[in-house]
Each structure stands twice: as structure tokens, then as C-alpha cells.
Structure 1
């Protein structure tokens, strides 16, 4: 859940914004003082800040500058009265994502926050946090990533969901000559056909109904840096054409503008689908595929890295200890034996969630077997000598989808959220497993 900090001294406005954002799925913290807001940002993770330009104890511009200096990943939206728009422009130049004029239109605020949710500025990866392990396949993956990183080649990363494709993309970016520039992530499955142009190319104020402000697109935001296209297979055919044209011309125009912007972008894309089949079936453009597939890296599934399981578990125990303030040291031998026999259809992401939950439940320095989730005991386990791994994964995926649909009363959007996939991927799997 995204966390928003509201720094606003008008209690009525603050209360309205709190309720509206909570209703729309945000976690909200608020304060009426700028300095208190800085302390909150320092002490806990904040995704977005709604910052009043004029505060009782400080100047909003100064608070903004402090936020961007100390916590550059935080997106800030300024709030100001109409007659003080000049100061808001100054705020934009100081690093604010955008600004809103009072009285605040809640829907306009939501329209600003949604595109921000699709964009993640890269945080420099601490190599000690990137678990390399001992597996030869994964060592080859990292070696290929290291070799391609300094080049300008576009990279296509393939692999099952949860294998760490985005982390590998960040690894490539932070080892490239563009590491000082932005790493922009876009989930291709979360952007609708109607919003594609506005999200990718940007728009000018007044260019269409609802365009209440100038907005740079994802391509413009990634200029000079790296654009990571996640869930590539979810791009519609029409949007593939639009994207290919821009990539070939290396220029983009915001909707409603005649000004062309030169593009200098490194492209990394990822997909958990067999995109070659989509190309063969003419569902994905072959020319775009070759434009993005100048260098291909396949990330192995977790079940193909058994020798790395223990190191990954310890890594996630350490991270969970930090998150929850616990002091767990290890997983019991019986617990490790259970996980060693589990197929992990959700791969590293699933392992992380299992360990995180177990650390929270742990009552001593050791995670016991009964603190692991019950569903992993109820699922067919991995017998390497006798089981078809692909069939096993498909059966576990099918079972997980049936369980999620049953839990949500066949609400596919909610089921997709529980399964941590987008709706299009869910629909594809429903068709694949004949569950429609």
C-alpha cells in the first residue's frame, strides 16, 4: 500500500484529503508542521508528500528542498492558492512533481497520484543486498548482465513471475553509464488503451477533457536514463505500433504540443510470457520484438537454484528483522526441509513473503516448521527424480487461481491483486487452464 504524508495546517482540508485518499487505497499520515513532516519522512518510508506552500513554522519551498536533498525518491505535490502560482512554478523547478491550486479537487489529486504510482525512480542498488548465490545458471545471468550493462544494447529479460526480473534490470542500470540518471519502471499491464498516449508521451494542459495540467510522459521522464517496460506482453497491438514509431524516430511530442523532444533512452523490457509465440501468432510485432531483443537474458526459476535457497532465506530473514524489529537468526532444519521440497510457483517473491510472515510470527530466534504457511504443506511437493517440473508449476498455478477466485467470489480484479499479477495475465491463465 502506497503511503502519503500530508503537510497542511488547514485541519478541514487535511481531514477531507485523509478520508479521500484512504478510501482510494492509500495509507495516510498527516501533520500541520513542516519540520514535523521532515521527521516523519526520516523515520519511516513515505512514497508521496502533499505539501502546503505556506506553513506556520516554515516555508514550503524550503521543506521541499530538504525533502529532495535527503530523500530524492519521494514524490512531492505542492498545494497553493491560485494567486500564488508563481511560487508553485518555483517549487517545480526545486523538484516538486506537480502542484494543485486550492480548493483542491480530489479527483484531480487522484489523477496526479495514479501516474506516479506507475513510475518508480531507481534507488542505487547495494550489491551486498543482491543475492548472487552459488548457482551456475544464475552466475551466468549476472555475468551477462555485467557485460551488457555498459553498452547501449536494448535488453529483453524473460522468466517466470517473481524471479527478480526488475531487480536484474536495476542491476544493469546501476552498472551502466546512465546510473546517475533516472530508472523509470512502467507496468505495461496497468495502462489502459485510452491512457497510453498520455502516460507514455505526456500532454499539454487543455489538450483533452481532463487535461488540467501539463504532464511529461514516461518517455520524457526517462530521457538520459533507462526505461524499464515490465509485463511487455500486455501491450496492445495498437500501442506497440505507437511505441515502435517513437523508438525509431527517437523523438516524442506531448499530446497537444507541436514541440518535438529528442529522446536518448536505454530500453530494458521484461516478460513472463513466451513472447516468441506471440510474435509467431502475430499478436506481438516482430519489428518491435527485435528492437527490444538486442540482448536476451533468461532468469531461472527458484526451483532451478536449490543451492541458493538457504542464502536467500537468510537474506530475507535479515531484511524482515530490520522491518519488524525482530531478532530471528535462522530457520529450523525441519522448516528448511519443507521449503527444500516445495516447488515455489511464485519463485523468489513467494519465498520472500513466506519468510517475512514467518519472522513476524516467530516467538524465538528460530523459525519453526509450524510457523510456515499451511498452504505449502497442502500442495504437491517437489520430487526431482519423478515429477515433471513444468506440469507441477502449472498445477500449482491452477490451484492458486481457483483458490483466489473462490475467495473473492469470482471477482477477477481482486483475484489478480491477491495473486500479484495484472488482470490481463490472469485472463490469459484462465484461458490456458480452461477455467473460464
Structure 2
């Protein structure tokens, strides 16, 4: 028997991810993003379970619960809350909710609650008192995966900003699934570190994690790199070689800068993902591979699809779940948290004991735009630690471009497209079309500037 589930969640991406996870486990899932839409869906179908957020834009989960118990008494109700309000949960269960689950949670935890729901009769009002959700042996594995992501063992810093909290929640949620994940964000934001975190949260965490820089592989040898080759298959193939797919078998393959793959290589990658089989260069034997794909890019792949540079079918195959990794500008509250982390790393690496930043450096850091994001911050911290003679990093050892930011407003926000083209034209005029100097003036990388020139059809 196929059970029908309705998810009411105003975070559309989160709701979609939960729906995909449950559909793969043979549930029939419908999603709504508002309470009103949820009520309309309830009228259309006989749902076995309603999973609703406690806080909705047009109503709340408690009101929806009361509506369901009055109108659809055979539908089990599970509440999701990011507020962990025990009193509210108690009230909800008294009013007939079957259970509640506190965000952030993993899809597998929700699955356990759903499975338990079908083992119990549908509760009526005042019939049930709340009991803590029981977690079977799987919890031990979850705790082990969480332990792998503490700061002493990885480069993953969770952050305290709202942007970081939402981003980290998505990583934990999608990690235990087998969905293909597309990580999008600016250069230097830590996409590989995020991919490693997803792998560590997954059931493949004790299996290989293979990272591949797609931009560094010449298209002529990409087939050999991805799928391997047999001895004698081409000049220089003196031995058999395993490709990245075979090396990542039962684990995770991370494709960094996937947008740089040639069209021919995209076709080969798509075929491997669809068939779950590869054929080494020069071999007639197909090899079955079980690989989870996480990919990353700092360009707009939807635009690349529109321009015919990236296959639409491959894009949808890679983009089962997309995650935007925030730039350092988007999570400025985390700046000194990352600074402290990189400072500790640099001290260990260089055998130094620098304690922190001077007040002048703190001011400069706050006012700098950080176009290179975390990579730039890490490099500046390490260089500064090496040059610092005392306990605090002085202004004199900080790169000139960071010092110049002190006392000046940050670069205008590039999210306002109406101003963006004019900003670029002004910078080019001021630098007499010197792209390197213009990029520096705009506090962006040369690659980003080239992409913007192409986007706005600016010819030099």
C-alpha cells in the first residue's frame, strides 16, 4: 500500500528536498507552501499523514492541526518547528498531533517518525501525552558523522550568521540522502569544504571522497581521467589506470567547476550518470559504478544552458538539490569567527603564537569587501602571521588593498543589476580598459569581470 503524505512548508527548497527523499522511499508526496494551499490540497486527496511547519506565512501549524482533526480525523499530523518550544509541542499533542520534530533534522529522522506513525492509532484530542522521540541504532551512526565535523578535524566552520545557519541546515539535511547536489557560489567561498561536509553527513562517510577540478583537465584526456584506460590504448598508456569514477566507487565524486567541461565531456558524464556504468578508454568491458555526485560552479549554469554551452539534461541531472554558498560579504557576522579559525591554523603551521588582530586591522577587515572570500582571508592571515613579530597582527603587514579599504565605504552592492553595467563601464574608463586594474578597482576577480563583460555585451 502506498501512503499519501502532504508537506506544508514555506521554505520551498526544503519542502522539495523532503518530498524527493520520501518519494524515493515509495511515498506519494504533495507539497504546499502556505496553510491556505495546504487546506485546498487536503480537500483533493485522502492523505495518511500531514507534515506541517509550526510557523507559516498565512497561518500556523496549530490552526492547521485543528482544521485537520475536525475535518479529516483519520489523517495523522506531525509538526515541524525550528523553535523547539516544548509547551507548544505539548499543546499540539493534546490537540491530536501524533508527534513533533525540531529543526534542524535529517530526513532519516523524519522517516523514523513517519514509520512509527503507521504503527500507532490516530490520536484524538487529549488522548496522548508527549514522549521523547525514540531514536534507534541509526542515532549512533549520526553522532559519529557529527563528530567528524568538529573544528579540530575539518576545515568546516559553521558560522553564526543567518546565511550560514540556513546553508549549514541544508548541508545536514541533504547529506544523508543520495541526491546529486549542485553547490553554487563565488570563487573562494569553500565549495570543496562544503562538499566534504555533505559527504561526512552521508551514509557514505567511510567511503572514498574524490575531488576533481574540471577546469584543470584538458578535454583530450578527460575520458581517461574520469573513466580510466587500459594499457596500450593510446600513446603513453604504459599501464592500466583507474579513473575517478572507479576510485570513488561506493563513495562521493566531487566535480569542482563543472561548468568548464567541454560539450563532448558533458555527454560522456551524462551517459555515466544515467547508466551507472563506465567503459575505460581502450576497453570493451563496462564497469558498474555506485557514485554520488556533488558538483560546484561559480558561474550561472542556467545562463550557460540558455547559451548552449552546457547541456540542459546534464544540468537537471546534477541539480537534484542546489545549495547557494554565501560569500563572506553575505555573512559578515562570521568574519572574525573565520579569522580566529585561520589564525589557529596558521599558528600551528608556522609554529607561531600570534594572539589576534590589532584594532586598526580589525577596522580594515570590517571595511574590506573580500572579493576572494574565505580563500583570500585564509591567505592574508597566514602571510600576516608569518610577518608578525609580536602577539597582535599590525597594520604594516596587511596587504595594501586591505589597508586602503580602511575609512572608505565598501564597494557598491553588485546585486543591483541596474547599476552593475555602469559601475563596470566607469571602472574600465578610469583604468583605460585595463581589465586587471578594473577588476581590482571593483573588488572582483578577473574571471568575474570577464563573465560580466560577456553578460552585458561590453566590447573593448
TM-score, length-scaled by structure 2 = 0.59
Are 2:316 and 1:282 aligned?
no
Partner residue, 1:402: 436
CA distance in 1, matches of 2:405, 2:427: 11
**8 Å contact from structure 1 (residues 343, 381) kept in 2:** no
Pick closer, same or farther for the CA change 1:432–1:358 going to 2, 3 Å: farther
Aligned-pair distance for 1:261?
Answer: 0.8
CA distance in 2, matches of 1:313, 1:435: 39
CA distance in 2, matches of 1:221, 1:348: 29
Pick closer, same or farther for the CA change 1:347–1:190 going to 2, 3 Å: same
CA distance in 1, matches of 2:356, 2:345: 13
Partner residue, 1:387: 412
**8 Å contact from structure 1 (residues 328, 367) kept in 2:** yes
CA distance in 1, matches of 2:392, 2:403: 19
Partner residue, 1:268: 294
CA distance in 1, matches of 2:408, 2:341: 23
Aligned-pair distance for 1:375?
Answer: 2.2
Aligned-pair distance for 1:376?
Answer: 2.0
**8 Å contact from structure 1 (residues 164, 349) kept in 2:** yes
| Number of residues of Structure 1 aligned to a counterpart in Structure 2 | 298
5 Å matches for 1:303-318?
Answer: 303-318=329-344
5 Å matches for 1:14-413?
Answer: 126-128=150-152, 129-378=155-404, 383=409, 387-390=412-415, 402=436
Pick closer, same or farther for the CA change 1:200–1:318 going to 2, 3 Å: same
Aligned-pair distance for 1:241?
Answer: 0.8
Aligned-pair distance for 1:368?
Answer: 1.1
**Any idea what SS the aligned residue of 1:206 has?**
coil
Aligned-pair distance for 1:420?
Answer: 9.4
CA distance in 2, matches of 1:298, 1:233: 16
CA distance in 2, matches of 1:350, 1:192: 27
Pick closer, same or farther for the CA change 1:207–1:435 going to 2, 3 Å: same
CA distance in 2, matches of 1:272, 1:169: 14
**Any idea what SS the aligned residue of 1:388 has?**
coil
**Any idea what SS the aligned residue of 2:216 has?**
coil
* Cα displacement string for residues 120-153 of structure 1 (whole angstroms, at most 9, x for unaligned residues): xxxx654445221211111111111101101110
Aligned-pair distance for 1:260?
Answer: 1.2
Pick closer, same or farther for the CA change 1:316–1:133 going to 2, 3 Å: same
* Cα displacement string for residues 322-367 of structure 1 (whole angstroms, at most 9, x for unaligned residues): 0111100010111101010000000011011111111111111011
**Any idea what SS the aligned residue of 1:224 has?**
coil
**Any idea what SS the aligned residue of 1:141 has?**
helix
**Any idea what SS the aligned residue of 1:163 has?**
coil
CA distance in 2, matches of 1:168, 1:403: 31
**Any idea what SS the aligned residue of 1:203 has?**
coil
CA distance in 1, matches of 2:384, 2:325: 26
CA distance in 2, matches of 1:405, 1:209: 42
Pick closer, same or farther for the CA change 1:153–1:235 going to 2, 3 Å: same
Gaps of 5+ in 1: 1-123, 407-418
CA distance in 2, matches of 1:381, 1:158: 32
CA distance in 1, matches of 2:408, 2:289: 48
**Any idea what SS the aligned residue of 1:167 has?**
helix
Aligned-pair distance for 1:378?
Answer: 3.9
CA distance in 2, matches of 1:174, 1:352: 23
**8 Å contact from structure 2 (residues 367, 405) kept in 1:** no
CA distance in 1, matches of 2:272, 2:213: 18
Gaps of 5+ in 2: 1-147
CA distance in 2, matches of 1:359, 1:236: 41
Computed over aligned residues only, the root mean square deviation of the Cα atoms, in angstroms, reads: 3.1
CA distance in 2, matches of 1:321, 1:296: 35
Aligned-pair distance for 1:388?
Answer: 2.6
CA distance in 2, matches of 1:187, 1:314: 28
218-227 or 128-137, which deviates more: 128-137
